[in-house]
Amino acid sequence: MTDKVFIALQNNSEAQAIIEAILEDNSSAIANESPGMVKIDCPGRLIVRRETVAEKMGREFDLQEIHINLISIGGNIDETDDEFVLSWNS
């Protein structure tokens, strides 16, 4: 079994666009909602693409804006201007 990475975001309207983008870009990702937050689990690797988020928001999006609504993560991070990737190497 591949270990899962995860990202958790606050459940508000701004984060909704990020959540939608993640689910679109990661076909194996599963969103689990609980009060106030959404936790997205994905086997092995999960990517957040700046372009997809910007498209969903209908405005420019700086990937570091993710910090405002981010709750938690599990996985090694690799971040550039265009992509925020979580992965396990094992």
Partner 1 sequence: MVKAKRLGLKERYSLMTRGLDWETTYQPMDQVFPYDKYEGIKILDWDKWEDPFRLTMESYWKYQSEKERKLYAILDAFQQNNGQLNISDARYMSAVKLWLQGITPLEYAAHRGFAHAGRAFRGAGARVACQMQSIDELRHAQTQLHAFSHYNKFFNGMHGFAHIRDRAWYLSIPKSFFEDAMSAGPFEFVTSISFAFEYVLTNLLFMPFVSGAAYNGDMATTTFGFSAQSDESRHMTLGLEVVKFMLEQHEDNVPIVQAWLDKWFWRGYRLLGLVGTMMDYMLPKKVMSWKEAWEIYWEGNGIALFHDLNRYGIRLPKYHEVATKEKTRVTHELWATLYQYGNALGLHTWVPEDEELDWMSEKYGELFDTMYRPRLLFMREQENAGKRYFNNRLPMVCQVCQIPVFFTEPDDPQKICVRIVEWADTKHHCCSDGCADIFNREPEKFVQSLIPPQQIYRGEAGGARDIFEYAEWLHLKKDVDTGEYRGSPDHKNWEAWRSEKPTPQTNSDEAA
- Interface contacts to partner 1, rule CB under 8 A: 3-6, 8, 10, 34-37, 39, 64-65, 67-74, 76-81, 88-90
In the complex, least distance from residue 30 CB atom to partner 1, rounded to whole angstroms: 13
In the complex, least distance from residue 34 CB atom to partner 1, rounded to whole angstroms: 5
Identify the DSSP state of 11.
Answer: -
Q: With respect to partner 1, which residue has the nearer C-beta, 59 or 81?
A: 81
Q: With respect to partner 1, which residue has the nearer C-beta, 27 or 80?
A: 80
Identify the DSSP state of 27.
Answer: T
In the complex, least distance from residue 72 CB atom to partner 1, rounded to whole angstroms: 5
13-20: long-range pairs with CB below 8 Å, 24+: 14/57, 14/68, 14/69, 15/69, 17/53, 17/56, 17/57, 18/48, 18/53, 18/56, 18/66, 18/69, 20/56
